[in-house]
């Protein structure tokens, strides 16, 4: 039987793969595993604004209460805000109903342990095991209650403004919150920190989250930055745990460039513990080269911000992230926080007087091609023909390139990534490997 949890909680098509019944049973099991043993369990729950979140959050809250938890309903709120408030309220755990950057028909449920930290694999396995072994539910006064939190967004905004290292005065920013969970919080936080903010894609209706906008579709942001003569553009995703950017000239600034900017800023400020940056295997060779030239160690993990988080904790490091824009500043957050990342990048611009393009120029990416291959069985990456093709091309590319195949943790895809010294070479090798994957199980 396949594992229910993926790389970022339980995710699938709402009302098909992820039903209210599954959400209820999952939340009951999570309360049994994560709840307090000697007192009433307290849990917080939030969601992004996609339409299916209403029913799934209601089912999840019902499951929490059915298992005896006192439930604090935070309403629509970014994922990092739910993590922050899990810690701030002293809750035993937190629940976020969101499919992050996925399209509207999808949804997901992720959990935060006490303190707002993501769950390790073994705890997720324990929740799955508890689902398979139903237990009697509390009755009478043992049943939990559900209460709506009063203005949780304000507490999160105050936190963001408080950690901003210097005012953002003089900066004009275009912000695209992807019609998502940070539509209210992110622009207000940036304005209070001192920036002039122009917003686009800021009218969520439950159906338009991530639709041709946000961090997965940045063409509109680029056009808006140029049209408004802005200093920078910031793109979030639906639950605002990732951040990508556009500079004043319309050039895209990805997570690798953002990590390079922040690593140098933090090293200068003495806050880059161990002079170390944690990134994943998907980060570009150019990031390795930039950090090496700056004397900063680069520690590599598997794909997924949870693995970055684990390595940050193990090494007591303060900065890590992914090329996709999940950036973790562990002194200020327990998970990726797109708005926090934006604030720190903009603060660096304001403090140095440099443009975003100038700051990002420290990082020169090697040509990289990423193809998504839709498959019926993600284990195809272990097929002999696929393994042989990967080994062949890695040998041919040598130290001038890199090949990486990995299954998506949330979708029926195999991701084919190729880096080479020249773009046409990377394109050609990636296309050939994608064809091998497509035909391996045919």
Catalytic residue set? 100
Q: How far is the C-alpha of 73 from the C-alpha of 192, rounded, in Å? A: 26
Cα atoms in the Cβ-side hemisphere of radius 13 Å centred on 442: 9
CB contact at 8 A, 317 and 278? yes
Residue 411: alpha-carbon gap to chain centroid: 15
Q: In Å, how far are 162, 286, 291, 348 from 360, measured between CA atoms?
A: 25, 12, 13, 11
Residue 108 bridge partners (DSSP): 11
Name, in order, each residue with C-beta under 8 angstroms of 122's C-beta and a sequence gap of 6 or more. Answer: none
Contact 24, 59 (CB under 8 A): yes
Task: Provide the terminal-to-terminal Cα distance of the chain, rounded to the nearest Å.
Answer: 23
Please give the structure tokens belonging to residue 23: 């959400």
- The rounded distance, in Å, linking the Cα atoms of 294 and 281 is 20
Beta bridge partners of 117: 113
Non-local (6+) Cβ contacts of 392 within 8 A are none
Smallest Cα–Cα separation from 296: which of 334, 266, 257, 332? 266
Which letter, b or e, does each residue of 99-125 get, where b requires 16 or more Cβ atoms within 10 Å of its Cβ?
Answer: bbbbebebbbbbbbbeebbbbeeebbe
What is the sign of the dihedral through the CA atoms of 416, 239, 106 and 31?
Answer: positive
Phi-psi region of 272 (alpha: psi -120 to 50; beta: other; left: phi over 0): beta
Beta bridge partners of 278: 299, 320
Of 379, 293, 336, 268, nearest in space to 81 by CA = 336
Residues 172 and 229 sit within 8 Å (Cβ to Cβ): yes
C-alpha span between 106 and 142 (Å, rounded): 34
**For residues 234 and 200, what is the distance between their CA atoms, to the nearest angstrom?**
10
Q: From CA 127, how far away is CA 27, in angstroms rounded?
A: 9
């Amino acid at each position: 039987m396949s594992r229910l949890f993926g790389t970022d909680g339980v995710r699938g098509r709402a009302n098909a793969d992820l039903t209210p019944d599954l959400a209820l049973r999952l939340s009951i099991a999570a309360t049994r595993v994560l709840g307090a043993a000697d007192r009433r369990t307290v849990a917080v729950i939030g969601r992004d604004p996609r339409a299916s979140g209403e029913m799934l959050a209601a089912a999840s809250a019902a499951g929490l209460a059915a298992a005896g938890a006192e439930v604090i309903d935070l309403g629509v709120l970014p994922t990092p805000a739910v993590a922050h408030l899990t810690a701030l309220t002293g809750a035993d755990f937190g629940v976020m109903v969101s499919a992050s950057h996925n399209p509207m028909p999808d949804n997901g449920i992720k959990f935060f342990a006490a303190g707002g930290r993501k769950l390790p694999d073994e705890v997720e396995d324990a929740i799955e095991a508890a689902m398979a072994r139903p237990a009697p539910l509390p009755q009478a006064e043992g049943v939990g209650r559900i209460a709506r939190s009063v203005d949780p967004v304000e507490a999160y905004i105050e936190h963001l403004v408080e950690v901003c290292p210097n005012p953002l005065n003089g900066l004009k920013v275009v912000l695209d919150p992807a019609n998502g969970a940070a539509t209210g919080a992110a622009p207000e936080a940036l304005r209070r920190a001192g920036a002039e903010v122009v917003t686009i894609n800021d009218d969520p209706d439950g159906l338009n989250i991530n639709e041709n906008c946000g961090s997965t579709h940045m063409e509109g942001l680029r056009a808006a930055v140029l049209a408004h003569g802005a200093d920078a553009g910031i793109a979030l995703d639906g639950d605002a745990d990732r951040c990508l950017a556009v500079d004043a000239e319309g050039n895209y600034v990805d997570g690798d460039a953002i990590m390079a900017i922040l690593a140098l800023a933090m090293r200068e400020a003495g806050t880059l513990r161990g002079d170390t940056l944690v990134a994943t295997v998907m980060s570009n060779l150019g990031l390795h080269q930039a950090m090496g030239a700056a004397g900063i160690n680069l520690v590599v993990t598997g794909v997924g911000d949870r693995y970055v988080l684990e390595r940050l904790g193990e090494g007591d490091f303060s900065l890590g992230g992914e090329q996709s824009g999940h950036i973790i500043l562990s002194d200020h957050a327990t998970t990726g926080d797109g708005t926090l990342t934006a604030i720190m990048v903009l603060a660096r611009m304001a403090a140095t007087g440099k443009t975003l393009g100038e700051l990002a120029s420290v990082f020169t990416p090697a040509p990289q091609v990423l193809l998504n291959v839709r498959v019926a069985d993600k284990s195809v990456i272990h097929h002999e023909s696929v393994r042989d093709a990967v080994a062949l091309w890695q040998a041919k590319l040598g130290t001038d390139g890199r090949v990486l195949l990995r299954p998506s943790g949330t979708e029926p895809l195999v991701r084919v990534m190729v880096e080479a010294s020249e773009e046409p070479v990377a394109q050609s090798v990636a296309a050939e490997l994608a064809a091998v994957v497509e035909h391996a199980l045919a």
